[in-house]
Structure 1
Amino acid sequence: MSHQEQALVSLLSQLALSFDGAVLGFALAYAALRTLFKFSATSTALRKLRRAPYLSVSDLRSLLADTPSEADSNSDGGTIVIVRGTVDAKSAVDGSWKTLRPGVLVSRESGDKGVILQRTQTCIYNEWKGLFGWTSDLRAIFARSWRQQESTSLRKVPFVLIDVGRRPSTEYVVINMDGSRHPLPLTTVYHKLQPINASPYTFLQALFGHEYPVGLLDEEKILPLGKDITAVGLCSLNNGIAEIKSCKDLPYFLSDLSKDQMILDLSIKTKILFWGGIALGSMSVGILGYAVVRNWNKWKQWKLQRQLQQQRQAVSDVEPQVDDEIEDVPDGQLCVICLMRRRRSVFIPCGHLVCCQGCAISVEREVAPKCPVCRQEIRNSVRIFES
């Protein structure tokens, strides 16, 4: 590990453990809150999935004809349903001249037909920094040594779901893809990695630490005709035709999973998020509690040290005034504490004259000041002057 990386790791460690771990505690608390928010959203989606009816395409019209109940309706409009059906082009069920020329997409490489075609070209670069370049061990550990530059194109045509095993069918539901950002159950039909031939310029790039292309990955994915999928979303009648669109509160829209598999998947995620949030929250509470106790003790220790410094300063301010009393003091008039100076202060209320002014001030500043002779509590001391 280089010196720069060691300095960075040391800085991050000091930042995380600053204020006795308070920064780390707040970071864990933030992560716990994020996890609990995700748990709440996932739990809501799980409840909606469990309440949603699991229907065939032919049963949708009878369901939508009834007035939707408050539990099944959504604020965005429509009823949340789960429909299992077979993918088909919308032009194939329109019953018009378009049937002769079905509106489908054809893969350029494989020739397969579908209603959604996604083509991705990825240029892969090598990020090795070369003989004269500088590389980071942390990046080699935590990051990929290959950098990818992708260009993706997505084409789609209107399509519907029909009953499984009933083709052709007059009952269908239109899939509305507008505004959907959910993952799609696409099938890879073409996948090829083409290496890029090296050139003298590529050798110079590698030698002096510049990234250079090493390959081109060409990939095509489609949603093929005749594939059985599950649609989850808001279903409503549009001009007498059943239509389903995505619901932003649900993590699924078009999927290969059945309803039971979706519920099982969300149940596992819910448990992971719940216990993860509890664990992160417990760790944050423990670390923050430790940080509070440590900083409180440090503050009390600092306050005590400051009081002691003030006491020493007060004694040092008094000592110059009584230095002249150190010499030629009879034994019976020496301070019983320092045994160096003349007795000059009387304790109130006991009235004992046994200490010099500096020692009397020190005794008076104690938490529970007591006379060094009779051990009676004192209120203050009075300086005695000889005439």
Structure 2
Amino acid sequence: MSTPEQAIVSLLSQFALSFDGAFLGVTLAYAAVRSIVKYTSSSSALRRLRSAPSVRVSDLRLLLNDDDSASSASSSSSASRTSDGESSSAGGMGEGKLVILRGVVEAKSNVDGSNGWKGLRGNNQGVLVSQESGDRAVIIQRTQTCIYNEWRGIFKWTYDLRAVFSRSLRQCGSTSVRTVPFVLIDGGPWPHADYVLVNLDGSTHMLPLATVFHQLQPVNASPYTFLQALFGHEYPVGVIDEERILPLGSEISAVGVCTYKTGVPEIRSCKDLPYFLIEKTKDEMLVDLALTMKRLYWSSIIIGSASLIVLGVSIVRNWNRWKQSRQQRQNQQLNQATIEQHGDETTEDEPVDVPDGQLCVICLMRRRRSAFVPCGHLVCCQRCALSVEREDAPKCPVCRQSIRNSVRIYDS
């Protein structure tokens, strides 16, 4: 890496390890909490999917009618117990029922005629056609992604980390989606009598689209491109064109709430469930969600344990550092108080005509007046001896033996 990259990496590492890793520990704890929240939501989704019935389109009307009858009976019994005698409508049909519906994709325009399924094969109105493959579909998504390259240039004004952050902040591609109303039907011989309308309004789930076109087109260089490369900026080198469709006749599963709308069953997505339209069956979705829960469970335990260790070490180190700084402040205050208390005794130790052999070995200014116990070395003045004595691990500056205190020596 270049010098700017090394400086930024060093700054980020120092910031992550600031306060003895407290910031890193808080970040890991936040990641662990996010994993726990996702694990809780996945667990709730798994329980709901297990209890949801998996039915075909032909069996859905019977299931909803049974639920409607049960809801109507309960509503009638509740209405009979009211004192004012007002009747209540069946709330089950308005609220809907969570189901896992398996069916075949078909355009709505082919089934909403006056004669039902009459003219289904020859009617192409309301059906999208892929421009590249010619396949009929109900959803067509086209994506154009621009690929950028970067040459450092002769001035080396840019580096990799800047390119990473800048690329994440700007749009490098465009996506266009076309949809037509579509339904799910049962496969098998024609004609069919039942279908379910798919409502995509408000859905943010991924769609089971199949790629039918994928091509990389190079971008011709221009004088402006040369200037971009010369001064170290990104320049385009190619464009990826991709087309994905949801074709007619594909068998998918719809996970959502099914209700009646103007006499037609309709299914819409649930925001608290990870699936809406998917190619997997109910058993495959349960297995996939169970694996996701297991991964989130162990990741939350590992990341949570790491965050506790890092935060524990950080707390212990900062606590010891705080105690050490407090002890140093107390020692300094004691030394200052002792020096002020014995100020009259140390005034006579001013460096006035003191031979070199009798100077303090620490300050080299005052006469040797204090002897250390138990080694007995007379090598320091009283002020420096008190300073050495107040240290956390006091040792004689000559023999490096641990000392307990010092004794003032007076001349006869």
The change in CA–CA distance for 1:324 and 1:55 in structure 2 (over 3 A counts) is closer
Match of 1:290 in 2: 313
* TM-score, L = length of structure 2: 0.72
Matched residue SS, 2:140: strand
Match of 1:273 in 2: 296
Match of 2:271 in 1: 248
CA deviation vs aligned residue, 1:280-337 (integer Å, no higher than 9, x gap): 11111111111111122222222222222122112211222234789xxxxxxxxxx9
The change in CA–CA distance for 1:20 and 1:174 in structure 2 (over 3 A counts) is same
For the pair 1:64 / 2:64, whether they are aligned, the reply is yes
Equivalent residues of 1:118, 1:221 under 8 A apart: yes
Alignment of 1:161-200 (within 5 A): 161-200=184-223
Match of 2:33 in 1: 33
CA deviation vs aligned residue, 1:111-137 (integer Å, no higher than 9, x gap): 110111112222323233334443425
1:249 CA displacement: 0.7
For the pair 1:129 / 2:152, whether they are aligned, the reply is yes
Matched residue SS, 2:203: coil
Alignment of 1:203-242 (within 5 A): 203-242=226-265
CA distance in 2, matches of 1:141, 1:306: 47
Match of 2:340 in 1: 317
Equivalent residues of 2:4, 2:159 under 8 A apart: no
* Structure 2 gap ranges (5+): 72-90, 350-368, 373-381, 391-412
The change in CA–CA distance for 1:202 and 1:312 in structure 2 (over 3 A counts) is closer
1:96 CA displacement: 3.1
Equivalent residues of 2:109, 2:126 under 8 A apart: yes
CA distance in 2, matches of 1:213, 1:140: 14
Amino acid in structure 2 at the alignment position of 1:2 = S
Cα RMSD, aligned residues only: 3.2
Match of 2:142 in 1: 119
The change in CA–CA distance for 1:174 and 1:2 in structure 2 (over 3 A counts) is same
CA distance in 2, matches of 1:186, 1:323: 91
Number of equivalenced pairs: 331
The change in CA–CA distance for 1:323 and 1:196 in structure 2 (over 3 A counts) is closer
Residue identity over aligned pairs, in percent, reads: 60
1:138 CA displacement: 4.6
Larger CA deviation: 160-169 vs 276-285: 160-169
Match of 1:308 in 2: 331
Alignment of 1:317-336 (within 5 A): 317-323=340-346
* Structure 1 gap ranges (5+): 327-336, 341-356, 366-387
The change in CA–CA distance for 1:197 and 1:320 in structure 2 (over 3 A counts) is closer
* TM-score, L = length of structure 1: 0.77
Equivalent residues of 1:125, 1:148 under 8 A apart: no
Larger CA deviation: 92-101 vs 207-216: 92-101
